[in-house]
Amino acid sequence: MLLLIAMLQGVVVAGLLLARGLRRNQTADLLLAALLFQLACSLIEHFIGFMGVYDYAREHGFDLTFFPFDNPFLYGPLILLYVKALTDRDFSWKRRDWAHFALPVVYLVVHFSVWSLPDAIKFQFLDEAFWGRVIRWVQQVSFYLTSIAYLTYAFRRFQSYRNLIEQEYSNTGKITLDWLRLFLVAFSAYLVFDLLFSIAAQAFNFWYTGWYWLNLTRALLLYYISVTGWSFAQKSSVQLAVLEQRSVQAQEPATNTATGKLTMLPEAVEKYRPQLAQFMETEQPWLDPELTLSVLAERIGLNASQLSYLVNNGFQQNFNDFVNTYRVEEVKRKLALPEFQHLSLLGVAFESGFNSKATFNRAFKKLTGNAPSQYAGLKS
Both ends of the chain: CA-CA distance in Å?
A: 56
d(CA 227, CA 314): 45
d(CA 88, CA 240): 5
d(CA 121, CA 132): 11
Specify whether the CB–CB gap between 303 and 263 falls below 8 A: yes
Specify whether the CB–CB gap between 47 and 11 falls below 8 A: no
Can you name the residues that pair with 262 across neighbouring β-strands? Answer: 255
d(CA 349, CA 319): 19
177 dihedral zone (left: phi>0; alpha: psi -120 to 50; beta): left
pTM of the model: 0.85
Query: Residue 83's closest CA among 69, 71, 100, 95?
Result: 100
> Which alpha helices (H) appear in 284-354, and where do they start and end?
293-300, 304-314, 319-335, 345-351
Write down the pLDDT at residue 380: 52
d(CA 89, CA 86): 7
Residues whose CB is less than 8 angstroms from the CB of residue 76 and which lie 6 or more positions away in sequence, other chains included: 100, 146, 147, 149, 150, 151
Q: Over its length of 380 residues, how does the chain's per-residue pLDDT go in tens digits?
A: 788 899 999 999 999 999 999 998 889 999 999 999 999 999 998 888 888 888 888 888 888 888 999 999 999 999 999 999 999 988 988 899 999 999 999 999 999 998 998 888 888 888 777 877 888 889 999 999 999 999 999 999 999 999 888 888 888 877 888 889 999 999 999 999 999 998 998 888 877 778 888 999 999 999 999 988 888 766 677 888 888 877 776 666 655 544 444 467 777 888 899 999 999 999 999 999 999 999 999 999 888 888 988 998 899 999 999 999 999 999 999 988 988 888 899 999 999 999 989 889 999 999 998 888 888 776 55
> Which alpha helices (H) appear in the chain, and where do they start and end?
2-24, 27-41, 44-50, 53-59, 75-87, 102-115, 119-127, 130-165, 178-204, 212-231, 240-250, 266-283, 293-300, 304-314, 319-335, 345-351, 357-368, 372-379
d(CA 139, CA 148): 14
